[in-house]
């Protein structure tokens, strides 16, 4: 299984956005998490298409675009054209989720489904085959710097079991409250794409990346030995 640390630029200093993205890239990160918020599905607004397009000109990082918008279908094309590699939409926000996932693929992007903490894993039963990734929110979406919700660990475990029982090679992403303490339980439960905002974009970005990547690599190594 491939593991990725995926820094969320929501926690970056927007004055120095380019510089901070370059720092995570130099530290060995391959994926970048970009949070799009509409002020409706979630209570606040973050960034939009121009930010994605500007970053795309400067970096070849894999852009993991997490859209927290009500009925996001009409936004997908613009984000794909701006340079998104993965587009993730919320199951709770899409009336026609099957169609929306199909549209993401038609635009040449990978497709992800996000579910809020209160949404059960069972909503994925009919659509898991249509997704490249499922994002288990481990906080209520809308803000960085919140506390990890512990009952979500069991949801990660159930989802990994669901994917394995169907022999589906699925990225399982976790987002919210992940830091040097909480990361162990999500890895152990079966997550392989680890979003971290405030745990990366703090005082010493290279050191934060080094520490989190180190934990992931150590886990990966021990998992290989257990196999
Ligand atoms: C929350 C966002 C997250 C956020 C995570 O709605 O989807 O990506 O940036 O921030 P931390 O890692 O600080 O909880
Ligand atoms: Zn996110």
Domain ranges of the chain: 4-226
The CATH code that applies to domain 4-226 is 3.20.20.70
Low-confidence ranges of the chain (pLDDT < 70): none
For the chain, where are the alpha helices, taking DSSP H only?
A: 17-26, 49-56, 76-82, 97-106, 152-165, 183-189, 205-226
- Tokens 């852009």 locate to 63
Residue 147 is encoded by which pair of tokens?
């506390």
Ligand nearest to the CA of 86: 2
The pLDDT of residue 227: 72
- Give the contacts of 130 (CB within 8 A, at least 6 positions apart): 98, 101, 102, 111
Ligand nearest to the CA of 138: 1
Percent of the chain scoring above 90 in pLDDT: 96
Residue 175 designated active-site:
yes
The pLDDT of residue 201: 98
Burial degree of 117 (CB within 10 A; 0-12, 13-18, 19+): middle
Cα 217 to ligand 2 centroid, rounded to whole Å: 22
Atom number of ligand 1 nearest to Cα 137: 7
- What is the pLDDT of the chain when averaged over all its residues? 97
The pLDDT of residue 74: 97
The pLDDT of residue 223: 84
Q: pLDDT digit string (tens) for 5-36?
A: 999 999 999 999 999 999 999 999 999 999 99
The pLDDT of residue 140: 98
- Tokens 């009336």 locate to 95
Q: pLDDT digit string (tens) for 119-145?
A: 999 999 999 999 999 999 999 999 999
Distance CA 44, CA 60 (A): 28
Residue 160 is encoded by which pair of tokens?
């990994």
Atom number of ligand 1 nearest to Cα 198: 13
Cα 173 to ligand 2 centroid, rounded to whole Å: 10
The pLDDT of residue 100: 98
The pLDDT of residue 108: 98
Q: Is the pTM here over 0.75, yes or no?
A: yes
The pLDDT of residue 225: 79
């Amino acid at each position: 299984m491939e593991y990725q640390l995926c820094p969320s630029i929501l926690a970056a200093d927007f004055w120095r956005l380019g510089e901070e993205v370059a720092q995570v890239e130099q530290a060995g990160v391959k994926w970048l998490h970009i949070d799009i918020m509409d002020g409706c599905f979630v209570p606040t607004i973050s960034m939009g298409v121009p930010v994605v397009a500007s970053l795309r000109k400067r970096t070849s990082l894999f852009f993991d675009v997490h859209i927290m918008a009500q009925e996001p279908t009409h936004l997908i094309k613009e984000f794909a054209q701006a340079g998104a590699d993965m587009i993730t939409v919320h199951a709770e926000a899409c009336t026609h989720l099957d169609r929306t996932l199909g549209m993401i693929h038609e635009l040449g992007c990978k497709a992800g489904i996000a579910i809020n903490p209160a949404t059960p894993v069972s909503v994925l039963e009919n659509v898991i085959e249509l997704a490249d990734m499922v994002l288990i929110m481990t906080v209520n979406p809308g803000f960085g710097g919140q506390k990890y919700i512990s009952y979500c660990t069991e949801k990660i475990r159930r989802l990994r079991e669901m994917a394995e029982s169907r022999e589906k090679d699925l990225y399982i992403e976790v987002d919210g409250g992940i830091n040097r303490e909480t990361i162990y339980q999500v890895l152990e439960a079966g997550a392989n794409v680890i979003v971290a905002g405030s745990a990366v974009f703090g005082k010493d970005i290279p050191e934060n990346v080094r520490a989190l990547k180190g934990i992931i690599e150590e886990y990966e190594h021990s998992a290989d030995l257990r196999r």
